[in-house]
Amino acid sequence: MSAMRWLSTLTLLAGMTPAGMAATVLTPGTPLTLTLARNTLQYNVAVEVPAGTQQFRITATSFDTCPPRYSGEAAHPCDSDLFLRYPQGFTFGTDIGQTDPTAQAQYYSAGPDDDSITVSNYGIPPAQGGTWYLALVNADDQDFSVQLNLEAYPTEHWTTSFDIRFDAKSSYCDTAPWNDPALGQTRRDLLNTAAGLLAQQIHTAVPVKVWACWKDFGGDDGSGTVLAAAGPTFFYMDSEVLEADFLPSLDDALGARLHAPWLPAKYEWYPGPAFTRLAGTPACHTGAVPCSWPDIIVYYNSNKAAAKFYDTANSPSARAQTLSVTVHELTHGLGFLGLVETDDTQTDFGARMLDYGDVFDRNVAYTGAGIQPLLSLDDTGRARALTSGEDLRWVEAAAVNSITNPRRTLPVPDSYIRLYAPNPAQSGSTLSHLDADFYPQELMGPYLPTSHPTSLGLAEPMLRAIGWDPQTQSIRHHADPLPNNWYDRAHDGHGIDFQLVMHDVAYGDLYYVVFYTYDTDGAAEYYTALGHLLDGRFVPYRDYGHTLRRMKYVPGQNKTVIDTSVTGEIAIDFHGAADSHACNDGINRQGALSLAVMSWSIGNESATWCIEPIIAPSLHASPDFAGHWYGGEGDSGWGMELFTLNLGGTTPVALATLYYPDAKNDPRWAQAMGVLDAAEATNGLTLYAPAGYCRTCTAPAVRQQNPVGTIRFRLSDSPSGDNRVDIQIPGVFTRTDAPIRKLYFAPGG
């Protein structure tokens, strides 16, 4: 709790602005060469983007060779990782062991080879003129030079959209038919032609990597033969929970949850190609997947019955059919598919993928009983919707109102776009196609149309809603969270003291966090963190490599030091929490002022909680003493969170959480609540130390409140006046007529 510990940091930060720090400037057309010290972070590059820019690209290239990182590894080209922000600069130090630039970045590229970031008008944040801030990391064990280049374009500058491999031979990718002496080249040409037709209808500055494979799906000469199949190889989610949900092999891959602020929505799955497009860098450069993996795998049926279809590909009719099938399947690969389970032979028929929603299904509703979002239903309800015939609809407004929707002028729900929902369900076709009875000649129907279309048609506005919108995006703004006491209803008794300590336009406002909790024995303890609010997230400083600190009191010196025997991490996200798993755990949170997701780890324990503020702003008394208080620069090492509340009486009510050292100098806390009347002025309020329960345990029905001492306030007419406190915890901690001051620093000082 030592405010002295933070004073030097705050003073340093107050004198720094992005413009003042950014002595190195990168401009279009002028390469910039930097020498990066080994194992360090350099964050003082100002990227000057010209006014009117619609797209820009930053590349980093090193011509030096670095030694192996691991035993048995060969020497490799030195590699720098890129991290980009706008309009605020990066904070924290240059030691990569003490800071995490990924947590601050809005875009990043951290691949094993030369890195690049492309920011487009459709990005979040979008490309625009002004000063952007670039940080570079050298994770190698030697100094090396890196050359930076900036390209800026006043109009959209698209790349070749598909990078197709015909030689990705593996146990699940047969490539032999591409090398057939008679038809191999024709087949390859047709796939490339189809990819070119689709590329003209989408907008991406990062190539989509495709593996072209053959696989025996079976079949006969009938109309039900599968001709081809494709889909994204991976799905991604913007989440504070950093983990991958996949097995080591590509054919078992599912999805990765990571910090991906460029995605429009949090806590839902995005298809890999859309993720890559919005990230402005290959997916593997975000650390989610190996760089050897593709974004899409397209399979053609090598069964003899289906192969006849391709063996006559030189005829005009077969050529048109093959082009249409290929564009159709590549469109599935771009993300035109739902992730709700559609196999009615599975016990989880109707379930969401890993119990999260996805960006496609977010736009789907069941209209058989009102209009119910598909993802809001339970598994049984979704199974009913998937086999409902005409009642599975795409309801996203832009596609519904698009000129490509022939039913757009009908009243709701008839104007909604009908999806394929036969009974019984057809796994792989249900949900992920348009209803052929209503749209017989659309590309994305479940059957091959007689017109052999290659135009996206109605699928084009639908793709826009799942990460393929070419329109210029706006800057995302986040409401400031309430400085307050926040807690999780599922873990009542634990919580955080979250208080603003300095407004900071340059780096994001500075907040102080006290995580008050209980140890494994149920004894009260607390941990602290300090950090900036960036893009709706609390991004903490690291100290000794960790963001959550347990403090140890130093008797005689009236201060605390970090207890390095206990390690911890914390992250708090105030954006999109209502869609997170943590806030959809079956707990009724009706009436919450707002919600946030707090991820924490202490030692071997970790969890993700849904937290909300306790005190409504309307309850604050006047004068308002709400905030974090401590004993001043000469008496730090203890403090309190204090609220003065107007609960309808003639005098305010104090609610205080006192943080203090026990007889062994360990961090403890106790709480008091009472009216600030004459009795309090004479006797003080009783401090209680609740008998707690462990952080990962279920909350008991009743918790015992143990009195440990008293606290008496002597508050002036103003938070900035002469405010004092008496504290009596016999044999443990005492203060008599001790002055207290609010932990707040004016900007610039």
CA distance 406 to 419: 14
Residues 464 and 346 in one domain: yes
**Residue whose pair of structure tokens reads 């590329």 in the numeric block:** 199
Contact 335, 271 (CB under 8 A): yes
More confident residue, 89 or 436: 436
Q: What is the pLDDT of residues 367-381, one digit of tens each?
A: 999 999 999 999 999
Burial degree of 266 (CB within 10 A; 0-12, 13-18, 19+): buried
201 pLDDT exceeds 90? yes
- Give me the pLDDT at residue 506, please: 82
Contact 120, 156 (CB under 8 A): yes
441 pLDDT exceeds 90? yes
Residue 523 is assigned to a structural domain of this protein? yes
- Give me the pLDDT at residue 476, please: 85
Residues 609 and 630 in one domain: no
Reference 272, options 359, 143, 172; nearest CA is: 359
Amino acid (one-letter) located at 378: D
Q: CA separation (Å) from 628 to 4, 496, 516, 644, 741?
A: 14, 12, 13, 12, 9
309 confidence band (pLDDT: 50, 70, 90): low
- 3-state helix/strand/coil string of 103-134: HHCCEEECCCCCEEEEEECCCCCCCCCEEEEE
Lowest mean pLDDT segment, chosen from 83-92, 395-404, 582-591, 660-669: 83-92
Angle between helices 316-334 and 184-199 (to 10 degrees): 50
The token duo for 741 is 């001051």
Rounded mean pLDDT of 5-26?
A: 47
- Give me the pLDDT at residue 312, please: 54
- Give me the pLDDT at residue 93, please: 64
More confident residue, 245 or 24: 24
> Any residues with CB less than 8 A from the CB of 202 and at least 6 apart, and which?
161, 334, 463, 468
621 pLDDT exceeds 50? yes
Residues 553 and 536 in one domain: yes
9 confidence band (pLDDT: 50, 70, 90): very low
Q: CA separation (Å) from 20 to 11, 164, 286?
A: 15, 46, 29
Q: What is the pLDDT of residues 456-483, one digit of tens each?
A: 999 999 999 999 999 999 888 889 999 9
Tell me which long-range contacts 458-462 makes (C-beta under 8 A, separation of at least 24). Answer: 458/399, 458/402, 458/404, 458/405, 458/417, 458/434, 459/331, 459/336, 459/434, 460/201, 460/402, 460/404, 461/398, 461/399, 461/402, 461/404, 461/405, 462/336, 462/363, 462/394, 462/396, 462/399, 462/417
Range of the domain at 539: 484-615
422 pLDDT exceeds 90? yes
165 pLDDT exceeds 80? yes
The token duo for 649 is 């009486």
pLDDT more than 70, % of the chain: 91
Most confident residue range from 168-177, 199-208, 460-469, 648-657 = 460-469
Residues 21 and 148 in one domain: yes
Q: CA separation (Å) from 153 to 2, 55, 188?
A: 50, 5, 33
More confident residue, 455 or 301: 455
User: What is the 8-class DSSP label of residue 286?
Assistant: G
Query: Around Cβ 624, how many Cβ atoms within 10 Å?
Result: 15
CA distance 335 to 359: 9
Lowest mean pLDDT segment, chosen from 242-251, 297-306, 504-513: 242-251
99 pLDDT exceeds 80? no
Residue 671 is assigned to a structural domain of this protein? yes
CA distance 512 to 500: 6
Residue 186 is assigned to a structural domain of this protein? no
513 confidence band (pLDDT: 50, 70, 90): very high
CA distance 533 to 219: 57
What is the chain's Cα-based Rg?
Answer: 30
644 pLDDT exceeds 50? yes
User: What is the 8-class DSSP label of residue 408?
Assistant: T
Residues in the chain, overall count: 749
- Residue 23: strand, helix, or coil: coil
8 confidence band (pLDDT: 50, 70, 90): very low
211 pLDDT exceeds 50? yes
**Residue whose pair of structure tokens reads 């930076």 in the numeric block:** 148
- Give me the pLDDT at residue 507, please: 83
Q: Which residue, of 469, 501, 516, is where some domain finishes?
A: 469
Q: How many CA atoms lie within 13 A of 638 on its CB side?
A: 26
CA distance 420 to 384: 13
- Residue 87: strand, helix, or coil: coil
Angle between helices 316-334 and 272-279 (to 10 degrees): 70
- Residue 89 belongs to domain with CATH number: 2.60.120.380
2 confidence band (pLDDT: 50, 70, 90): very low
**Residue whose pair of structure tokens reads 């739902």 in the numeric block:** 338
CA distance 582 to 279: 26
Q: How many CA atoms lie within 13 A of 248 on its CB side?
A: 0
How many domains would you assign to the chain?
A: 4
Residues 454 and 498 in one domain: no
Residue 234 is assigned to a structural domain of this protein? no
- Give me the pLDDT at residue 249, please: 47
Contact 383, 377 (CB under 8 A): no
**Residue whose pair of structure tokens reads 């060969």 in the numeric block:** 74
- Give me the pLDDT at residue 224, please: 64
pLDDT more than 90, % of the chain: 66
Rounded to the nearest integer, the mean pLDDT of the chain is 89
Contact 131, 18 (CB under 8 A): yes
CA distance 365 to 419: 10
The token duo for 415 is 């104007």
> Any residues with CB less than 8 A from the CB of 351 and at least 6 apart, and which?
340, 341, 379, 382
The token duo for 596 is 């946030």
CA distance 487 to 229: 47
Amino acid (one-letter) located at 509: D
- Residue 439: strand, helix, or coil: coil
pTM for the full predicted model = 0.90
Residues 455 and 524 in one domain: no
Q: Which residue, of 425, 443, 469, is where some domain finishes?
A: 469
Rounded mean pLDDT of 411-417?
A: 97
> Any residues with CB less than 8 A from the CB of 571 and at least 6 apart, and which?
103, 240, 537, 538, 539, 540, 547, 598, 599, 600
Lowest mean pLDDT segment, chosen from 102-116, 193-207, 360-374: 102-116
95 confidence band (pLDDT: 50, 70, 90): low
Residue 295 is assigned to a structural domain of this protein? no
298 pLDDT exceeds 50? yes
317 confidence band (pLDDT: 50, 70, 90): confident
Query: Around Cβ 49, how many Cβ atoms within 10 Å?
Result: 22
Residues 604 and 693 in one domain: no
559 pLDDT exceeds 90? no
Where helices occur in 345-465 by DSSP H, the ranges are 379-386, 397-400, 459-463
Query: Around Cβ 678, how many Cβ atoms within 10 Å?
Result: 9
Q: How many CA atoms lie within 13 A of 153 on its CB side?
A: 15
- Give me the pLDDT at residue 88, please: 86
More confident residue, 159 or 685: 685
- Per-residue exposure over 213-248, b if at least 16 CB sit within 10 Å of its own CB, e if not: bbbebebeeeeebbbbbbbbbbbbbbbbbeebebee
Residue 315 is assigned to a structural domain of this protein? no
241 confidence band (pLDDT: 50, 70, 90): low
- Give me the pLDDT at residue 735, please: 96
Q: Which residue, of 469, 500, 528, is where some domain finishes?
A: 469
Residues 521 and 630 in one domain: no
**Residue whose pair of structure tokens reads 């053959």 in the numeric block:** 214
The token duo for 582 is 């943590």
Q: CA separation (Å) from 246 to 252, 288, 537?
A: 6, 10, 27
Lowest mean pLDDT segment, chosen from 54-58, 242-246, 555-559: 242-246
- Give me the pLDDT at residue 6, please: 38
20 confidence band (pLDDT: 50, 70, 90): very low
Residues 611 and 622 in one domain: no
Residues 459 and 521 in one domain: no
Dihedral sign from CA coordinates of 584, 590, 596, 602: negative
Lowest mean pLDDT segment, chosen from 236-245, 539-548, 689-698: 236-245
238 confidence band (pLDDT: 50, 70, 90): very high
Q: CA separation (Å) from 426 to 373, 422, 423, 643?
A: 21, 7, 8, 59
82 pLDDT exceeds 80? yes
Residue 559 is assigned to a structural domain of this protein? yes
Residues 453 and 526 in one domain: no
Contact 357, 375 (CB under 8 A): yes
Reference 279, options 327, 199, 210, 208; nearest CA is: 208
Residue 585 is assigned to a structural domain of this protein? yes
Contact 267, 255 (CB under 8 A): no
Q: Which phi and psi angles does 414 have, rounded to 5°?
A: -65, -25
Reference 277, options 79, 107, 457; nearest CA is: 107
The token duo for 259 is 């910090």
Q: How many CA atoms lie within 13 A of 193 on its CB side?
A: 14
- Give me the pLDDT at residue 21, please: 47
More confident residue, 444 or 316: 444
Q: What is the pLDDT of residues 648-662, one digit of tens each?
A: 888 999 999 999 999
17 confidence band (pLDDT: 50, 70, 90): very low
Residues 17 and 137 in one domain: yes
Contact 255, 280 (CB under 8 A): no
